[in-house]
Structure 1
Amino acid sequence: MNKYNDYAKKMNCLYAELPEYLTWHKDSKEWEPRKKQEVIGRIFNCHPSDGEKFYLKLLLMHIRKPTSFKDLRTIKGKYFDTFREAAQYLGLMETDSTAEMCIEEAATYLMPAALRQLFATILVYCSPKNPKQLWLKFENFLSQDFEHKKTLNQYAIKHKVLDIIAYHLDSMGKKLQDFFFVDDDIVTRTHDNLFKEIQTERDIIIPTEDLLAIKQLNEEQKVAYDQILHHVNNNIPNAFFIDGPGGTGKTFLYRALLATIYSAGHIALATATSGVAASLLPGGRTSHSRFKIPIGENNSKPCSISKQSALAQLIKSTKLIIWDEATMAKRDIIEKFDEMLRDIMSSNIIFGGKIIVFGGDFRQTLHVILKGTKDDIIDSSIVMSPLWQHLHKLKLKQNMRASLDPHFSSYLLKIGDGIEYTNDKDEIQIPPQANVPFIDDNTTLNTLIDMVFPNINDENLDFSLFVNRAILTTRNDFVHEINDVLINRFPGEETTYFSCDENTYTCTIPDQEELFHSLTPQGLPPHKLTLKLNAPIILLRNINPNEGLCNGTRLLCKGFTPNIIYAEISVGVHAKKTVFTPRITLEAPHDNFSSIPFKRKQFPIRLCYAMTINKAQDQTLDFLGVYLKKLVFSHGQLYVALSRARSIEQLKVLIRPSTPLIQSTDYTKNVVYQEILKATDTH
């Protein structure tokens, strides 16, 4: 059909899509265009035990408009003798040599430092069958930069490389000895220094601007800075909470504190609930990874830190611990943190007598509770914890951006506090200069896209200008819709990666691969991932927090091979750092999104021209579009969405009417839990 039928050529169909557009006539023995378009057509199904027939079908489900069997076996100009080999090359199935191919492809870039990080990532997330064989084959590539310096002998180089790999593994919660690819005596020597974690913190580079920030603090920041340092310098136990809306310089204050403590030769630990917030602080780590706080189903367990461990020694030596975005953490997580510190410090004083600085903005989105009610969310907030009354509150109110746009700052604050004027439907009005009038779905969305990403199809455009621009929306399916539109407009050749999906259900059931391919649960990358050079992407997992690879880290695509994506971190303290990202296996969340649990092996990224509002929290953008196809539905969402912009001139908001009868498109809902805001003042 694809070879001879003009209609089939025009439709550019996959095998599964063909019955939607064509129908078989038994009498004439010919295919003809279908008159009714909304149909479900039957396709041939087969099992992996069917051998080449199964792999043939696998290719037909992913390659558009093939014209022959030879065409199906030719992938990116490379011909394969079997359908199985072609499917493997396309990434549609697992292979025993995937880890080896990853490192081979990455080695061609001649970047040993990034290669060592990749090697550690593959050990942790790809579970290679023979780590020792992998090490022996690529040891020379992993140590090329040390070989060229010729200042170390081979034995010293080997230990140096292993020590760096051990550091990466440790930041991902693993140890070198977990993988059995080097002799025990080498492992022991590599880990002789119990205080390696302490040295790592001492090696953190203090940016010059952070040292200068100490003299640039405003009056409110200076009061907080002096009080906290007084306790640090005099070893007086206390726990503080820095409360302030976006733009009041909480991160600016944290960085000034860290710079002061680091420059005095002391140790401070910078953490945050979210990976994005952590990436804005020197040496920043997510609180969960730094303090071994269990997540998911295991969040009822205590923090797993031995009192004899290097991390425990590091905590004991720490002068100050900063925990940003604590408002996004559940109260039981903070309470477990308190228990852990009391245990390590052998003290019954709150937080073990350590000096802690929590920070956040209760106007922003709070922690997520799956299917949780408003009461559930409020009850699990830190303000409802007995610890809250023991925290010394320091409020920041002076907006550091107020001189640029004081009216916009005041407007945002009223939205965050839930006191902005509302109409008779309890809706607030979007300022006229930011509002994009709604016409119809396609026309108005394209208008918004053109405003946020002007001339995006121009090949001569400086694409770095788009790094800090995005469209925010309320749901993941809307995010995928916008990203698909923008990657098609973006100039350049497409590179497409398909995931390998596998059923994890214990009972014997029919093959569900096509079903899994059609799903994109929250937190998982899409089955079909289409990318182009210089396209912006966002990381969906905490891979290596020490190196800036956190959930929410934004990157730019710089190169593609079948098993590796070469990218550059685009924001934060690790900006411009180059990294290799392999496919890893991710499990679909255990909820009612899918009736059958499954796991997906895919690159843990997705495009980020568009993001959900919750994902964008902690980020400030150069130009911002907000697409409210559906209304906001949780506390602080609208405030977070609008406050990602620096000024009203950098903000465009598109509101889709909830019903055809509604004519006004500049009013929308604002959800604020007043109980939370009142609790911050009354406790």
Structure 2
Amino acid sequence: MTDRTISRHSGRITIDNRWVVPHNLYLVAKYNAHINVEICSQVNSVKYIYKYVYKGHDRAQVYMGSSAQDDHQDEIKKFLDARYVSASEACWGIMSFPMHKEYPSTQRLDIHLENDRRVYFNENESSDQVLNRTLPETTLTAWFKYNLENPEDNEAKQTLYPDFCEKYVFHKQQNPRVWRPRRSGFGGAIGRVYAVSPKDIEKYHLRILLYRIPGATSFTYMRTYNGRVYPSYQATARAMGLLQDDNEWNDTMSEASTTMSPQKIQQQKARALNQPVPTEITDEMYGHCLLDLNQILVANQFDLKTMDGFKDVFPTVDTRDSHAYPEVSTPLERMHATLLIEALEAPDPNSLPFNPSQLVAYNAIQRCALADENYDAAQSKLFFIDGPGGTGKTFIINALLDVVRKQNHIAIAVASTGTVTLPGDIPSDFVRIPDEMYFNSTNLLDLLAAVFPNISNSSTIDQYFAKRVILTPKNQDVSVINNLLLDNLPGRKFTYYSYDQVCDPQFRMQVPLELLNSIESGSLPPHELVLRVGSPIMILRNLDPSAGLCNGTRLIVKSLGVRIIEATIATGPKAGDVVYTPRTKFITEANGRIPFDFSRTQFPVRLAFAMTINKSQSQTLSNVGLYLFFHVFSHGQLYVAMSRVSKPSSIRIMVDPDISVLENLPGHFTHNIVNSEVFQ
């Protein structure tokens, strides 16, 4: 408080209580000493308590003498002779407590090519002794040997080389060196494979494969994929889809030509044109087109203008005529043309089967949207279409978009429906879960069985998964649920690995590849994508809106190829259409979590047995499980989740009892976030 002051030196100095150090009067009076009371919650507090540790250097050494004197300075001895030790450090040493600790421990794992391991020898040994000596096993060769000699160890078969030391111990002092299972079930080490420069091509790609192939028994095994032994580790990695090159789209189109119709192939070709220009021009490309013809002639001392007979063979084209090069349309014009074509192909909105309430809303909004351009701007209106789930809100909006586009106007849906909620009579931030919606169990497997009964025996997979889903607020729960349900689905598993790379070439050597592979985000496909035929998936990018491939669209996998996924659209106006999805390049910019730009090339999908609440907007479902072991965290999420169904009996809500019971109130509750500012 500045109004309480003390003056000193005839009023020349005025001091208020801003200069008073927090203190305890009782302690000051009892010990008659300068005692401050501080909360030791920061490093600065520790520095104050042990201030002399941080005041200057522990010891200053000054040496005086001539440069000609060869006086060796033993700095280690001087450090032991005189070093300041605080009271706490001295007590810690007297009690023989450890001065530092590393937990968990780390295990450095060797990496080398076949017959390319390091050999150590004494300079006094003869060449025969060195050549005849049995080479000791490295951690890599011992791993191969253990997997070969223990085929009954199923856990070892499923364990990657970098993860092997978590449950196995490498006995380095034993002869021969071997891996053995840990006696205790905990305390495993973290494996760190030595870094390898990309310039060392074969060893670098061997390191990549060691992070992908479990239970290997030899170097040849590491070069084997799908029953074929490849000549190099680089070729094996490319066959597994771990590398990207200029042949990516050539291979994609070759695979597509065996299953796709001509129209679908043209669509894939159009997407290929948006890919980066190849870094190297192959002989095959030269055979398909006349590339840089004039530059090739000039380099060989020819020119198109001076070649005899050239004008007689090819007629002259007047390039000054504007019709030779049509004008390039703007992005808005191209969007307008695309939307107009879609609207013309859609059914006449005026003939759609509206119910009376829908027709009232449709007519009111249509008259306002299609009014004459000279009408009073004050008559413009903002419309909210509200209603329970399944009453046709999206149906009205799609009809309005079509009728406006048919009148040659631009109409774009810029936000999904169901993103806000009205507070109504809610007295607090919690709402009571109706008894008919509450799922009386805390076992996640029970909820999965209730939403997906007889998942392994379903004959009509497309219809079975189209209207069933588990909703949850967080992506981490989505991944767990998807993996559990995928294991219950019959059929062979297909695993697809992404190709990850730092965008800045100067920064690539500093970021380990396994770090890029470990990055997970709701907007990115996983590095390791595991699918089965019949599993539901969700598109993560707007690939082709006219074909129904939009962000959030759910598909059912029909077949799985090497570079193409064939699937059937399960939701939206294109439901039932068969589409083909290639691998796509995702670029993530630097943010607070990732300090660099990096790219990931992967199929733009993820499993969709479960999905986040935000991704489920504008979808109407018939069987929903709402997994709320964590409360919703944003405005309107609870409304969006509960409005996906048209009747209460179609949704089952599982909540954590520890966070769903309110004192002195019966029933179960969950958090509901409503930002009133949205409606002001």
Into which bin does the TM-score normalised by the smaller protein fall?
0.5 to 0.7
Give, in whole Å, the separation in 2 of the partners of 1:190 and 1:561. 40
Name the TM-score, length of structure 1 as normaliser: 0.65
Secondary structure, aligned partner of 2:192: coil
**Deviations 1:152-176, CA, capped at 9 Å, x for gaps:** xxxxxxxxxxxxxxxxxxxxxxxxx
Tell me which of 333, 351, 358 is aligned to 1:212: 351
**2:228 is the alignment partner of 1:225:** no
Q: What is the correspondence of 1:179-198 to structure 2 with a 5 Å cutoff?
A: 191=326
Q: Higher Cα Rg: structure 1 or 2?
A: 2
The more displaced of 535-544 and 119-128 is 119-128
Q: Which residue of 2 aligns with 1:117?
A: 267
Q: Compute the displacement of 1:257 (Å).
A: 3.6
Q: Which residue in the other structure is 1:58 paired with? A: 208
Alpha-carbon distance, 1:431 to partner = 1.5
**Aligned ranges 1:140-539 → 2 under 5 Å:** 191=326, 200=338, 201-202=340-341, 204-205=343-344, 207-208=346-347, 210-213=349-352, 216-219=354-357, 221-222=359-360, 225-226=363-364, 228-229=366-367, 232=370, 234-235=372-373, 236=375, 239-247=380-388, 249-258=392-401, 266-274=407-415, 277=416, 325=417, 362-363=420-421, 416-417=422-423, 419-420=425-426, 426-439=429-442, 444-458=443-457, 460=459, 462-505=461-504, 506-507=506-507, 509-539=509-539
Matched residue count? 490
Q: How far does residue 98 in structure 1 lie from its aligned partner after superposition?
A: 0.9
Q: Offset of 1:32 from its aligned partner?
A: 1.8
Aligned to 2:670: 668
Distance in 1 of aligned mates of 2:288 and 2:658: 58
- In structure 1, what is the Cα distance between the partners aligned to 2:440 and 2:208? 45
CA contact (8 A) 1:501 1:517 kept: yes
Scaled by the length of structure 2, the TM-score of the pair is: 0.65
Evaluate the alpha carbon distance shift between residue 227 and residue 637 of structure 1 in structure 2; reply closer, same or farther with a 3 A threshold. Answer: closer
Matched, 1:21 2:162: no
Q: CA deviation at 1:593?
A: 2.5
SS in 1 for 2:455: coil
| % identical equivalent positions | 30
d(CA) in 2 for partners of 1:64, 1:459: 32
The higher-RCO structure (CA 8 Å, 6+ apart) is 1
Structure 1 residue 445, shift from structure 2 partner = 0.8
Pairing 1:523-602 to 2, within 5 Å after superposition:
523-602=523-602
- Structure with more helix by fraction: 1
Unaligned stretches of 5+ in structure 1?
Answer: 140-182, 278-324, 326-359, 364-415
> Aligned-residue CA RMSD in angstroms?
3.4
- Residue 646 of structure 1 aligns with an amino acid whose one-letter code is S
Q: Which residue of 2 aligns with 1:41?
A: 190
Q: Distance in 1 between matches of 2:385 and 2:408?
A: 26
Matched, 1:82 2:232: yes
Matched AA of 2:147: N
- How far is the alpha carbon of 1:587 from its aligned partner? 2.0
**d(CA) in 1 for partners of 2:347, 2:610:** 33
Task: Report the Cα distance in structure 1 between the residues aligned to 2:198 and 2:556, rounded to whole angstroms.
Answer: 37
1:639 counterpart residue number? 639
Report which stretch shifted further, 556-565 or 492-501: 556-565
TM-superposed CA distance for 1:461, in Å, is 5.4
SS of equivalent residue, structure 2 residue 579: strand
Instruction: Tell me the CA shift for residue 40 of structure 1.
Output: 3.4
CA-to-partner distance for each residue in 1:337-370, whole Å, 9 max, x for gaps?
A: xxxxxxxxxxxxxxxxxxxxxxx6531xxxxxxx
1:67 positional shift:
2.5
Shift of 1:70: 2.6
Task: Please list the CA deviations of residues 449-482 of structure 1 after superposition, one character each: whole Å capped at 9, or x if unmatched.
Answer: 1111111122645443112211111111111111
Alpha-carbon distance between aligned partners in 1 of 2:171 and 2:235, rounded to the nearest angstrom: 35
For 1:126-153, what per-residue CA distance to the aligned partner results, in whole angstroms no more than 9, with x for missing partners? 55447998888889xxxxxxxxxxxxxx
- 1:657–1:665 CA contact under 8 A, matched in 2: no
Q: Distance in 1 between matches of 2:242 and 2:617?
A: 34
**Residues in 2 aligned to 1:60 and 1:662: alpha-carbon distance in whole angstroms:** 52
- Cα displacement (A) at 1:629: 2.5
Q: Answer whether contact 1:500 1:601 (CA < 8 A) is retained.
A: yes
Q: How far 1:273 sits from its partner (Å)?
A: 2.4
Q: Which residue of 2 aligns with 1:378?
A: none
CA distance in 1, matches of 2:222, 2:445: 35
> Quick one: structure 1 residues 131 and 588, their matched pair in 2 at CA, closer, same or farther if it must change by over 3 Å?
same
Where structure 2 has 5 or more consecutive residues not aligned to the other structure, the ranges are 1-145, 290-317
Q: Give yes or no for contact 1:452–1:469 (8 Å, CA) kept in 2.
A: yes
- Residue type matched to 1:568 in 2? T
